[in-house]
Structure 1
């Protein structure tokens, strides 16, 4: 992975390879505390021993089998109330890429998991810094199950399991950063309606009735995501918005 070259203008052009680390997000944060890395700087590893997900979940990955990296961005152009678009653009870029290998069936499970059918194949952890009421920087951590076929958590899968073959990690990474850059430039151009429409088109359980829990089980229909990034669900004729710790998907 340390010999990757990218076909981009700035995303992934500055590549920092570490064979093993606790968390690529932590390394990216250390870099930001030491200096101002150029935008698009990417920290990538073969083995992450303490990867983090949302809700404080851990992310286990078999060494040298998957893609694990963190991207440093400076989205100061993005209004604070639009910061959830960082999740939107990056999840769309991942779907753009993986669909070339596995076709249809890819979905974005709110807030930031990537699913194939009903199985998780990837996750995103976005950590933003706000200064003077504006976005200072963002670290976007991405973990994708690629060639790992054993030891996956319950409910998870990988591209290897789906396709029945082993993929070239360098080729897939290069393809991914090309799509990340394309989607990020759309975000810079403030194509919010375009990005939101495509996000909803790829949203898991969108406009379907399912069972959720907020401490109590209830049936509802996902209508989208509000301006604060909360999940909007219609239940019993009322639309309610839920934050990440306030709602669970049941069936």
Structure 2
């Protein structure tokens, strides 16, 4: 049973569809939003309903807790109750091919950065390809899962999952991420998770609906690894390189120590400063 203090702290920042909608742009008044107290994974929920959702091209699932949050490379994404914001966009009838799915991750990364800055006095930056950092700590991870159409070179649907550490977990972070994970806020803030969810939706849908790639320049500006010495991880192999640029398809261009230049579609990179 929760104490009066715990109930108060829980209630000052409870997720509410009505509250989220009150902060949405007017053009998004009809977007479908579903909120849960707890799920295994918001991406899984979107996967389950993808075949049933006929009339909506965009659908947002939000939860206050995940029991099996999904990270990249099959990792678990730590998703404790009431201290994070876990949300997934289900997008159908996309104009993108499977090769262009990385653009959705890029849009989401910029959207999260902008939303964090709207609700806090913190600056947010991107570590290619899908991690958001505040004060040199990872506060958000993004996982895009795309299903190609069998009929044409387009995506049947895509799911963009976003997990944000809004507050520090009551029991702290697990040992394996203790040295790199962080949170946007140290203490509970009135209604901030609803505002944060709405602002992420506003920014993401603005970029998604636009016919330009304005988000890409913003992504480059926020990507703090450019110009840095990095380690590229590929399977069991690690190679030193310098991050040079990000191309218009959101791929990372690196120069290896031997002078060879390569474009990375995906993968994992390490920075000494974040080790």
> TM over 0.5: same fold?
yes
CA apart distance, 1:38: 0.8
Aligned partners of 2:108 and 2:169: how far apart in 1?
Answer: 25
CA apart distance, 1:148: 2.8
- Are positions 1:185 and 2:203 aligned together? no
Q: Which residue does 1:14 correspond to in 2?
A: 32
CA apart distance, 1:140: 0.9
Q: Which residue does 1:159 correspond to in 2?
A: 184
- Secondary structure of the 1:33 match is coil
Give 1:222's match in structure 2, choosing from 234, 243, 254: 243
- Secondary structure of the 2:80 match is coil
Alignment of 1:33-112 (within 5 A): 33-36=51-54, 38-74=56-92, 76-103=94-121, 105-112=123-130
Aligned partners of 1:73 and 1:17: how far apart in 2?
Answer: 17
Q: Which residue does 1:233 correspond to in 2?
A: 254
- Asked whether the 8 Å contact 1:11–1:40 carries over to 2, the reply is no
- Cα deviation, 1:74-113, whole Å, max 9, x if unaligned, reads 2522344433211111111111111224446421111211
Number of corresponding residues:
244
Q: Which residue does 2:197 correspond to in 1?
A: 173
Aligned partners of 1:27 and 1:235: how far apart in 2?
Answer: 41
Report the structure, 1 or 2, having the larger strand content.
Answer: 1
CA apart distance, 1:48: 0.7
- Asked whether the 8 Å contact 1:45–1:68 carries over to 2, the reply is yes
Structure 1 gap ranges (5+) = none
Cα RMSD for the two superposed structures: 2.4
Query: CA 1:221 to 1:103, structure 2 compared with 1: closer, same or farther past 3 Å?
Result: farther
Relative to the length of structure 1, the TM-score reads 0.86
- Are positions 1:198 and 2:218 aligned together? yes
- Rg comparison, structure with higher value: 2
- Asked whether the 8 Å contact 1:147–1:166 carries over to 2, the reply is no
Q: Which residue does 1:133 correspond to in 2?
A: 153
Aligned partners of 1:45 and 1:228: how far apart in 2?
Answer: 31
